[in-house]
Amino acid sequence: MTATLLVSCPDRKGIVASLAQLLYGQGANILDADQHSDEVAGMFFQRIRFDATDLDRAALEVALAPLAAEFGMAYRLVYKETVRRVAIYASKLEHCLYDLLVRHRARELPCEIAMIVSNHAEPASIADHFGVPFHHLAPRDEARHFAILDDARVDLVVLARYMQILSPAFVARYPSRIINIHHSFLPAFVGANPYRQAYEKGVKMIGATSHYVTEELDQGPIIEQATVRCAHGDSIDDLVRKGRDLERHVLAAAVRWHLEDRILVYAGKTVVFD
């Protein structure tokens, strides 16, 4: 059984050695480790994956506490047996919803799909086909949203082209646990109709961006982005068709990296470990 330790703290000497010695002393075998130092911010980040088969979890937590205090370290420790429960929010556009469900069925996404939620009735047939509970709810009925999410013990909310703006109260319940796909290469063309905006500007590349949701529209920490070339002869429909291929890929990547504990958020941006 494996576990993953994610840490962030002010950068200084001795962090890597101290963490390695601590894990070794607790009987953990490090399988791989990746790290990053932000010289401008003076911050250090590391992801360590290790074999925790013979490890006393309570003893590890006790040992980590003084080390975290010494280095001013924030950390997250996750064991592989922990299966995240995901709620997918969608509207009428189905391409990202279908893609996530197919990838989950193919075991590309290590999670349980707890439910599909929509402000339209149409996705009910998709949910039925994949055997996933479906809820048709108006966006304004937040008390009902919170109730079903809490009852299903949802860990992550994925907005698969859910064309509604979440309230600050909703966002605050799931900090860095709501992932959105925006059909634009942010920070360009925020808000509605980005493909029309791109067409009117005559851009030569369009993109898609997955990001964590914050109170400020389309300004959350970016997780993944991709672009594709477009030409002067492309219509708005051509841009939409090209963009949707990007949206599927970019959203799925962000969801998978989150589920695999590869992302750390700081200062309005992310570190995404390979």
Q: Which of 99, 155, 218, 234 is labelled catalytic? A: 218
| Active site annotation includes 99 | no
Residues 6+ away with beta carbon under 8 Å from 40: none
d(CA 69, CA 219): 32
d(CA 64, CA 66): 6
d(CA 8, CA 112): 28
Phi/psi for 232 (5° steps) reads -60, -25
d(CA 76, CA 256): 17
d(CA 115, CA 188): 32
Best CA proximity match to 199, nearest among 239, 226, 227, 229: 239
Tokens of 178: 């709501």
d(CA 164, CA 166): 6
Tokens of 96: 């990202």
Tokens of 122: 């149409």
d(CA 135, CA 187): 32
Catalytic residues: 218
